[in-house]
Amino acid sequence: MVEVDDVLKLARRIPKGRISTYSMLAKALGGKNLARFVGTALSKNPRPVKIPCHRVVHSDGRVGGYKLGVSEKIRLLKREGVAVKSGKIAGFKKHLFKNFKPQ
């Protein structure tokens, strides 16, 4: 069974200046059908900046929600060098982090 901590551990692996998607985390946890669970788990993040859930976005590049507010998510992403235009990640594929293979 997948736990909230499993999602948070994956989010920690996303490097500064990179992003990943809810569905990519879900797939790394064992199934694309877990994407909604990933979002719910990230909303329970007890340390939203230290555990960088702001680096997780929708598959189409939309920023998505954030526990501290969408404007704060965008501010954090921009601070890390990830541009956001009209609520979407600019250069989405360039910033995408996919390497969730077991360490």
| pLDDT above 80 (res 101) | no
pLDDT digits (tens, 9 = 90+) for 26-66: 999 998 899 999 999 999 999 999 999 999 999 999 999 99
pTM: 0.95
Structure tokens at 5: 């901590």
Q: What is the pLDDT of residue 31?
A: 87
Strands (E), the chain: 20-21, 56-57, 84-85, 88-89
Structural domain includes residue 101: no
Question: By three-state DSSP, how is residue 84 classified?
Answer: strand
Residue written as tokens 């702001």? Answer: 54
Structural domain includes residue 18: yes
Structural domain includes residue 102: no
Q: Which domain holds residue 27?
A: 4-95
Structural domain includes residue 103: no
The CATH number of whichever domain residue 37 belongs to comes to 1.10.10.10
More confident residue, 101 or 64: 64
Strands (E), 2-41: 20-21
- Given the DSSP bridges, would you call strands 88-89 and 20-21 parallel, antiparallel or unpaired? unpaired
Q: Is 53 a catalytic residue?
A: yes
- Single out the catalytic residue among 29, 53, 56, 57: 53
**Residue 11, amino acid:** A
